[in-house]
Amino acid sequence: MTERSMRMVTTQGRQAARGAYDRETVLRRCVDAFNEHGYEATSMGMLSKVLGISKSGIYHHVSSKEEILEVASDRALAALEGVRTECEAMSAQATGEVVWSAVLEHLLRETVRLAVEERPYVALLLRLRGNSPVETAALERRRELTRYTEDLMVKAAAAGELSPAVNPRLQARLQLGMVNSVVEWFTVEGEVGVGELQDNVVEMVFRGISAR
């Protein structure tokens, strides 16, 4: 084989490596690796081995490991922020007094759904610790969502829709902790479906598990 032919084969191989995955697949496989090994511990070399392509094949889709993290965390946050927008629309469009517990129920149901449907991305978001500007920005957006949930709970309590024994801000964080735990144990292949999971979360939050 001539030197020119070898160069052509090498070039074709690189092009094939780049074309083996689209950007979405590269992102998902990298996020899976981050969740398995930890973001800090996962190098571009490790991602190259996971994907079975060269580093340059990865750089064809993204500019850096940090860009992967930014895109992945934004995906989870944008979906969650979309739920908040829906809740804001519900309260704005209410013809009478807003039933805040109904808005809160919608928030819980949709957050549970996203924890299942966007599990790898939500799991990665929940594991961020603020070790870089990208992580810090993502954590601030997540805190805003927490504050919104707390505010909903406070409004529901003020409207007399919750037991006076409930600390609304504490209850909001307990609820979010319960929903966030879904990414660690729930599997769509199990006996329980997403709808039943949502129903159980709502039942526990608003009515508890007592038989009274």
Number of domains in the chain: 2
Same domain, 75 and 158: yes
Return the structure tokens found at 54. 């060269």
Q: How far apart are CA 205 and CA 174, in angstroms?
A: 10
Secondary element (H or E) of residue 198? helix 194-207
pLDDT in tens, 152-209: 999 999 999 999 999 999 999 999 999 999 999 999 999 999 999 999 999 999 988 8
Q: List the one residue out of 45, 207, 61, 68 whose CA is nearest residue 134.
A: 68
Which regions of the chain are under pLDDT 70?
1-20, 212
pLDDT computed for residue 97 by the predictor = 93
102-106 own/partner pairs: CB under 8 Å, 24+ apart: 103/152, 104/149, 104/152, 104/153, 104/156, 104/205, 105/202, 105/205, 105/206
Same domain, 140 and 169: yes
Same domain, 125 and 51: no
Residue 83 lies inside a defined structural domain of this protein:
yes
